[in-house]
Copies of this chain bind each other. A is one copy, B any other.
């Protein structure tokens, strides 16, 4: 049993804010950054918000994240721009260039910002929601340090390269936010702590056999790509695109530096308001989702669309407070 404490969202934000101020963030940036970390905690993506706050601050402390640097446009065509993240906070950089991609889309139908020299964007789904609120489709991804082997290999040379696709839906959004590994290291560690097995195979053991045992995978470090060879291929292509479109570092180069910083990311927005069928889009998506939800359930009681559970978690966490692991909270308070 993992001990948790319930922290109200305002309290969490306040603590994040004061820590960030202490570590050198300007007031406006500390507030924006605290807001994103809080919002992602409220939405229940703890692994990429509250649980990662301490390591984020450590990266600031070590100079890998430079608190007050702002991303700059380096080069631009009509619909495609290359930006330099200047090693600023990944979440702030990502919010800013998502806004920029949306603006390009408002002007050109579609917009893309490729961002070099940035840092971990934490929960990619955040930017999907951000674009969806402006009536935009969002497609984005980030490379990472190597943490997943190529298909058939034992050593990690690929990242788990999260891919986000979002569309506006009923005032909120349908948001796919998926790593190209079947499970994150965070999920493996959490399942291991609970002494449980994964629901499906999550990697290989040291004998090269597929396994649901998280401890065996943590030992072999051979996490499973989604769809075996397919997810490995997807990760490779997304890393190549991240690096070449942004003129930034590839997973290979990031890995050589041992610490995960200076990432390359791609942000694409498409403005639905400009499409000739804009007025029919809401009912088109509604019809698809209604049909999808009418699926005949097998093992699962309910058929869920990507992002659907977030709203329920958000409501619950805003009402009851955010469940934070006690040891995590203690560390945050000690910063």
Contacts and interface: CB of A to CB of B under 8 A. Distances in A.
A270 B112 contact: yes
Contacts of A182: 227-228, 230
A295 B153 contact: yes
A334 interface: no
A250 interface: yes
A297 B109 contact: no
B276 A82 contact: yes
Contacts of A320: none
B243 A288 contact: yes
Given A233-B305, A233-B306, A244-B167, A75 B272 contact: no
| Best-surrounded residue of A74, A110, A277, A303 (most CB of chain B within 10 A) | A110
Interface stretch (A25-33, A90-98, A279-287, A310-318): A279-287
B287 A250 contact: yes
A210 B298 CA distance: 13
B110 A287 contact: no
A9 B311 CA distance: 56
Given A110-B80, A270-B80, A245 B275 contact: yes
Contact of A244 (B111, B200, B225, B272): B272
Interface stretch (A40-48, A61-69, A144-152): A144-152
Given A150-B303, A165-B237, A237-B176, A284 B250 contact: yes
A50 interface: no
A10 interface: no
A87 interface: no
Interface in A195-251: 200-201, 204, 208, 210, 222, 225-228, 230-231, 233-234, 236-241, 243-245, 247, 250-251
Contacts of A292: 150, 157-158, 236
Given A109-B77, A244-B167, A298 B154 contact: yes
Interface of A: 74-82, 107-112, 137, 149-155, 157-158, 165-167, 174, 176, 178, 182, 200-201, 204, 208, 210, 222, 225-228, 230-231, 233-234, 236-241, 243-245, 247, 250-252, 270-272, 274-277, 280-281, 284-285, 287-288, 291-292, 294-300, 302-306
